[in-house]
Structure 1
Amino acid sequence: MLIAKKPLPAVTTSNPLVVQHNAMVNAGFTMSALEMRFFLAMLSRISREDSILPTCRITVKELCPDSTSATVYADVREMVTRMLSRILLLEILGPNGERVKQPDIQGFPLMGRALYLKKEGVVEAVFNDHLRPYLLELTSNFTKAQLSQLLKIKRPASHRIYWLLREYAAFGKRTVGVDELRHILGFTDEYADRFDHFKARVLEPARKELSQTDLPFTYELLKEGRVVSAIRFLFLPNSAQASALPSAAVEPWAQALFEVGVADKSLEVVREKLAAGEYEEGYVHYVLATVRAQVQSGKVKKEAGAVYKALTDGYLLPTYRKMNLSPAAKPNRSTKAAQPAHGFTKAGVSVAGERRRLLSGLEDARGTLAFVKSSDLYDERTRPEAITRTQATIADLEQQLARFGS
């Protein structure tokens, strides 16, 4: 006897924090304004705890909150049809979900299923299962943004630029080649020979829209001869942090590498090696100090290149490990006893790193609370429960932070 499986409940409530893999942030695709709002609504229904892609129920009212058009329902129905044929050009990830050098690119269907329920005025949809590595259980190589900020943006291209800058929010700048940006925004033929049109119709509208968000920016045009080849976006580092919390979005080693000129993309390579246990954070700082001494003595001219080579090739590792294993470098008993309080937790995790993680979580939770209290996406039934749950999260994070002191 066959027993029918109980269907999974559809997700109807948005999460204030939206997260996606950086490979998706940099993927090449284009959408209409309505499609982008639908895409965002689906992203906002994915929880950080989800292990399967949820089936989402999104009302027409949520997709078109300000529309008075008599054709709004027909517009949504047509949008669903277009989304079913939408393809994303995504990087193929490494075995642990990491981005790789010179990745292969594959086209993935965006939707696994999408259905417009006319009588209910609801779209019921689920992402294609191939997108799971880009959306679920993300522990690294991801970017997060507050839904309340994303909802302020109307133009699809402005949305994509917001995410590109959000990925680099800790550094306060990002340089993108014009051709690369056109590819990411899905402009295959548009503006190929008319940068002045691209500036007027894409860059300037994005600058104006993002000025109303937590990520306002200016930009510089970089030229090769008379041709604009790249755009350098400039913005305040960690501008999303409305509170006075210390910077929690970037690791000290990454900031140190960035300051000596190591390329943005190269930081991901180092991050992957750290995560894989090829070396520890101390080796990064050892490399920086060693190469800096070589620069000062005139042995090395290009500091950033020498640092990156030492971190990727690991040729200084034997010396670093030998130095750390020498009797002079071994801590005495009193030092060992003090380490958990000052340098590492009992689990061997850096105290500074754990504190940054908790501060980042606290920032997110406070943003979530503000969103839940004011958003029209919650009603009298769902709002109290969401507020209570978020307040409990904040209290727990504050309690954990208290253990580390101010």
Structure 2
Amino acid sequence: MSFAMNDELELYTPKIAQHNNLIRSYMHLGGLEARIFTLLLKGVKKDDTELKKVEIKVSDIIGDNPSGKAYQLLKDACDELMSKRLDLLQVGISKKAANKNDYHKVGIVQELQLDSGSGFVRGLFTDRVQSYLIQLKKDYALADIEHLMSLKSGYSHRIYWLMKSYQSLGEVKISVEEFKKMVCGDKDELGNQIDKYPRYYDFKKYVILPAFEDIREMLNVHWVENKKGKKTESLTFKFPQEGKISKITKPVQGSLFDKSNAKPKYKKSEAPKQNLRATSKLKLVELMEIHKENYEASIEARLNDGWYWNDDQTILYKD
């Protein structure tokens, strides 16, 4: 799902979204697969009622004037993405609530077409993932397109999305095996069990450390190893929050700029300055500068604390 926080203000970074159950599924993506996946998501609009074919410039994936080798790598990436099959939890069901014997295997992409003559890749998600991508109301996360397109590897892409899906919780503990499956996948296209990094040392060295170095400037997250003896059994991810944000315990999901979140306390005909009860005000652009990566959570915290929008949702007021 694509989001522009306010179409009239170019300062707002466009967003894309996925349902948390899709984000936290067991899926590995290579670097080019991750770029294609991101650009397919960019073509899905938040108000769409059904999935549509998305057109992507080849140059956005492999750069201008690509070589024959680059085209072959792109074809291979398309093949890999087409082969993805996920054991996907249905919308509205959490992993804790799910029966371990349940099974819901779905493909992600229905169609991919590479037209080297026109310089486009045309793709279509399967209708089975539609409820995870459009008309999302809760339990989904937003990510910055520019951030995703600058990441160096598919592992970075997966970890970035996972951190985004847990960010509003403040802190989350995940077993090493579960985290490995979410980042690297657990089965190949034939259904065979895979474990590319059986040793935690290798998983940390080749996946975790490079990925967190890659996203270091994009997300404020710290992680610690939980050991039993010498063995690292789980990882705790902590997301430092500012001010009252840390008091939010429920996930902040969805666009905070949807009209349903507005809480105006004056009539439309009244100018904000005429509302004499408003003793504090804060412009949205100021919040974005103050809180940077966490400005959406900051807005949610203020709305929960009695702040409210002006009519065009660019300024927050507090009585």
Any idea what SS the aligned residue of 2:177 has?
helix
C-alpha spacing 1:110/1:32, structure 2 compared with 1 (3 Å): same
Paired residue for 1:218? 222
Contact 1:73 1:121 in 2 (8 A): no
Paired residue for 1:383? none
In structure 1, distance between residues paired with 2:65 and 2:180: 30
TM-score for the superposition, normalised by structure 1: 0.55
C-alpha spacing 1:118/1:65, structure 2 compared with 1 (3 Å): closer
Question: Counterpart of 2:180 in structure 1: which amino acid?
Answer: R
Q: Which of the residues 237, 241, 244 maps onto 1:237? A: 241
Question: Counterpart of 1:235 in structure 2: which amino acid?
Answer: F
Q: Write the mapping of 1:112-261 to structure 2, written as runs, cut at 5 A.
A: 112-185=110-183, 186=185, 188-192=194-198, 194-213=199-218, 215-237=219-241, 247=245, 255=248, 258=249
Say yes or no: does 1:57 pair with 2:55: yes
Displacement over 4 Å in runs of 4+: none
Q: Which of the residues 78, 93, 98 maps onto 1:102? A: 98
Larger Rg: 1
Q: Write the mapping of 1:7-22 to structure 2, written as runs, cut at 5 A.
A: 16-22=14-20
Please state how far the C-alpha of 1:52 moved relative to its aligned partner: 0.7
> Could you list the runs of 5+ residues in structure 2 that have no partner in the other structure?
1-12, 187-193, 254-263, 267-282, 293-309
C-alpha spacing 1:58/1:86, structure 2 compared with 1 (3 Å): same
In structure 1, distance between residues paired with 2:25 and 2:117: 35
Q: What is the identity percentage for the equivalent residue pairs of Structure 1 and Structure 2? A: 24
Shifted more, 222-231 versus 16-25: the winner is 222-231
In structure 1, distance between residues paired with 2:177 and 2:205: 16
Aligned residues: 249
Please state how far the C-alpha of 1:162 moved relative to its aligned partner: 1.2
Please state how far the C-alpha of 1:82 moved relative to its aligned partner: 2.6
Question: Counterpart of 1:155 in structure 2: which amino acid?
Answer: S
In structure 1, distance between residues paired with 2:64 and 2:173: 36
In structure 1, distance between residues paired with 2:209 and 2:179: 14
In structure 1, distance between residues paired with 2:161 and 2:76: 26
Any idea what SS the aligned residue of 2:204 has?
helix
In structure 2, distance between residues paired with 1:65 and 1:168: 32
Question: Deviations for 1:127-146, whole angstroms, at most 9, x for unmatched residues?
Answer: 00000111110010000011
In structure 2, distance between residues paired with 1:218 and 1:199: 15
Any idea what SS the aligned residue of 1:206 has?
helix
Question: Counterpart of 1:36 in structure 2: which amino acid?
Answer: A
Question: Deviations for 1:225-284, whole angstroms, at most 9, x for unmatched residues?
Answer: 32111011233337xxxxxx985xx9x6xx2xx4xxxxxxxx57xx9xxxxxxxxxxxxx
Contact 1:173 1:234 in 2 (8 A): yes
Any idea what SS the aligned residue of 2:168 has?
coil
Any idea what SS the aligned residue of 1:396 has?
coil
Q: Which has the higher contact order (CA 8 A, sep 6+)?
A: 2
Please state how far the C-alpha of 1:46 moved relative to its aligned partner: 1.1
Contact 2:24 2:182 in 1 (8 A): yes
Please state how far the C-alpha of 1:163 moved relative to its aligned partner: 1.4
